[in-house]
Structures are given as structure tokens and as C-alpha cells.
Chain A
Amino acid sequence: MYKYNFEQNSQHRIEILELSDEKCKFSFEGDLSIANAIRRVMIAEVPVMAIHFVDIIENTSPLSDEFLAQRLGLIPLVSYAADSKMYDWEADADSIDDQKTKVVFTLRQKNLNDAPLEITSQHLEPEFGQVGEMAIRPVRMFSPINGKEVGIPITRLGKNQSVHVRCHALKGFGKMHAKWTPINIATFRHEAELNFDHSQTQSLSLFEKQSIRDSCPMNVFAMDANQDLIVNAIEKCVFCEECIRCAESMKKPRLIKMQHKKNKYIFTVESAGQLKAADIVQKALIVLRKKVDEISQDLSFAQQQQQI
């Protein structure tokens, strides 16, 4: 019989290292199973909106209808309002055209000039009036060269070519199709644990200390006021072992001991634009709690039925 060695009732701790709208880095102290559940839910089960049905009224663009629909589906839509929408299977069958389940965009463009016209996500127009920050709309993209707003390219039209489509954006989650995934990256890794052998550190010269400090590509080490080598930013360590190799070249192979820290993980979450990175984590936690509550309810319901 195999039994894991747990700390009983271990407390979870979160520390945010980096935070912006697009990217979030945080350390999570706690169970591996919970860390992995959060990661998996962020990837596959946070609901967002994406274009799912496309009515093609006219398409004389160089792309075929299926290709066009596929490209439209992959456009990320800002989904702060996804919580107030219903999944299309939850709504009544007769109210399928309701605003409760979907957002409709129209795309109607014709090129009358000789120069080719690039159709982008900026040409998508929402059908029922939506305004403000909460509106469901394609994410805004800015050119890295001049900072101007550019859309996400859909197709290009030659002279007298035109495209007229109606797009129905539905609520969904990543398990159904990757276009509903709100994140680009959601990973976690162990935090490192670096220990110096203090019997050897005392014999190090200042030059040797400096060269160990400079050997680290992530700048984990620093010098303190007494010119001693200290670990300054442990969360940056990527286990490259350059410092150990540097110590080996000084004939001190056991100077630094590198280990995985138990029960501490560093998460990196990058948003695809539908939601803010911090909101994705928040929503993942809510989804997990709801899931667990629902199963616990179903379980007691099943238990009651079985007794009858």
C-alpha cells in the first residue's frame, strides 16, 4: 500500500510576481493536484465567446467559404460579458435567435478600386448596438512598427470582389474547440532551491564570487554589503546549472546544491486577449469551485435515490 506523505491541511499561498493585462506570473504554494487542476481549467474550461456559425450571403474572395469561416472563428473576441450569456443548449429552442446566447456580427465589403483591399477584424460590425468596455467585439491589435491600430487579417479582395457574411458568436470553452481557449500559455514549474556549502564559500576569492554571480544568465545571485554571495531572485532560476558548472571549473563541485522546492510552483499565464490574465485565473477558480459543488450535490442526490 502506497501512501503519499502530505502535510495535513496545508495552507495555500499565492504571491503575484508580475501583472499586466496580457501576462501574469505568480507563485503558488500548495498541492500539485490543485495547481494542475487550475492549469487545466484555465486552458480548457473558462468560458469565452467565439464565432461559431457563419451565414455566407456572398463570397467572391479568393478564399473558399469554409476557409473564411475557419478564419473568422479563430478571431479572439473580448469576452467580459460572457458571464451574462447562456450556452446555446441552455436556451429554449424557440428563442435560439435570442441575444441571451449570441452576438451577431456582419461583414460586408466590396472592393471597387484597383488596389487590393485587406479585410480585417475591424470591418466586423456588431448587429445589435453594443457599446463600452463590456461590449463583445474583436480584440484590438496594434502594429508593432508604428503603434497604429490594425485589425486581424481575414482575407484580401481584388477589384470587384466582395464578401458579405453574418457571423454568430456563441459562448463555449476550450474543451469543445481551441478557439474558445482564453490563454496562449498556461504553465507552471517548480521553484528552485539553491544551497551553498558554507565550509567552501569562505575560501572563495572575490573574483570567484563575482564570476559565479555573472555566470547566471537570469541574474539570480547578488553580492551583499559584506561582499558575500547571496541568492537574490530565486523565482528567476531556470535550472540551467551554469553556476554549478562555474563552480566545477573552480574545482569546487559541491559548492552549490540545486533542488526542486516541494509544493511551490511558479505559474505563467498569458492571455490571448479575450480576458485579462488576472481575470482568467479568477474565473478558473470560480469554475473549479462550481464544478466541485455541483458534483457534491449530484453525489448526495444519487445517494438519496439509491437508498429509496
Chain B
Amino acid sequence: MNGEDFRSKLREFHLRSKEQSSQESRVILEDEKKMNNACCVKLYLEDHTIGNLTRMNLLKQKEVTFSGYRQIHPLQHTIEIKVQTNGSIKPYDAIQKTFQDLSDEFKNLEEEWARKVAEKEKHQMKLEI
């Protein structure tokens, strides 16, 4: 039932973005009113995979003083990431930088993986001969 639910959400989302004939954003930004240099980002159709990844990599930045994430409800496919910085950088920019770093890292990993697999296959071919 929930699996079907997730699929129908994807379909709905796709139709909505098509209707508006513009890029439908899966991201909702909220400024934290009671705190300085803090923000809350809601990501639709994401889960712990991205949540934990973002949180841990945000904490790598020296400017970030707090970052955390939660899934607001097990049946709602939305996560919420909260970030606070020490003021030398905007919280949105910190998140943006994290995603760019991650993208570069995955690109490197892809290349490394392809290289290592080719090496290993070559090595195994030699052993067979």
C-alpha cells in the first residue's frame, strides 16, 4: 500500500511539474525566525539516504555549528534538514556547497570504480590464461 503510495506521489509530482510547464521544485526553504543564521530545508520525496549524507557532510564544514535532519512522519515522504552557521556564511550557501562537494566526490568515485573494475577484470583475464 505504501509502496503504491510512493509511486503515485512520483506520478503526481511529475504531472504537476508538466502542467506548470516549469521546473517544479522539490525543495521548500524556511527561515528560522527565532534563531540567527539558521534555516530549515524541506526535501520532498527524499529519505534517510540523502538526509544523513547531507547532515554528516554539513558538519564537515567549519562554519556550520549545527545540522540535523528528521523524517517528519514515516508515511510522509519528506525530510527536514536544519542548519545553523556561525555567521561567516549563509546557511543556504553551506547546504549548496555541501551538495556541490558531494557531487564532485561521487564523480571521482564513479571514475575510480570504473578504473578499478577494468584493472581487476584485466588481472583476472591474465590469471585465466
* A residues neighboring B (CB under 8 Å): 1, 3-4, 6, 8, 12-16, 19, 26, 31-34, 36-37, 40-41, 44-45, 87, 89-90, 172, 175-177, 278, 281-282, 285-286, 288-289, 291-303, 305-306
Contact = CB atoms under 8 A, between A and B. Distances in A.
B23 to A, nearest CB: 6
A9 to B, nearest CB: 8
B107 A302 contact: no
26 contacts: A1-B65, A14-B112, A14-B113, A16-B117, A19-B124, A33-B53, A33-B55, A36-B53, A41-B49, A89-B10, A89-B11, A89-B14, A282-B110, A282-B117, A288-B106, A289-B103, A291-B46, A294-B26, A295-B46, A296-B99, A298-B26, A298-B27, A299-B92, A299-B96, A301-B23, A302-B29
Interface string B62-73: 000110000000
Interface residues of B, number: 51
Contacts of A1: 65-66
B59 A3 contact: yes
B96 to A, nearest CB: 6
A19 B50 contact: no
B60 interface: yes
B3 interface: yes
Given A14-B116, A282-B113, A295 B121 contact: no
A33 B48 CA distance: 10
A54 B70 CA distance: 38
Nearest to B90: A303
A41 B28 CA distance: 23
B118 to A, nearest CB: 10
A289 B50 contact: no
Interface of B: 3-4, 6-7, 10-11, 14-15, 23, 25-29, 41, 43, 46, 48-50, 52-53, 55-57, 59-60, 65-66, 92, 95-96, 99-100, 102-103, 105-110, 112-114, 116-117, 119-121, 124
Contacts of B105: 12, 34
Contact of B50 (A26, A291, A305, A306): A291
Given A19-B120, A285-B109, A289-B107, A33 B7 contact: no
Contacts of B56: 4, 31-33
A6 B60 contact: yes
Contacts, number: 127
Contacts of B60: 6, 8
Nearest to A32: B56
A190 to B, nearest CB: 17
Contacts of A176: 3-4, 6-7
A62 B12 CA distance: 38
A286 B110 contact: yes
Nearest to A89: B11
Contacts of B120: 16, 19
Contact of B25 (A34, A36, A305): A305
B49 A303 contact: no
A177 B4 CA distance: 8
User: Which of A3, A33, A305 has the most C-beta atoms of chain B within 10 angstroms of its own C-beta?
Assistant: A33
Contacts of A41: 49
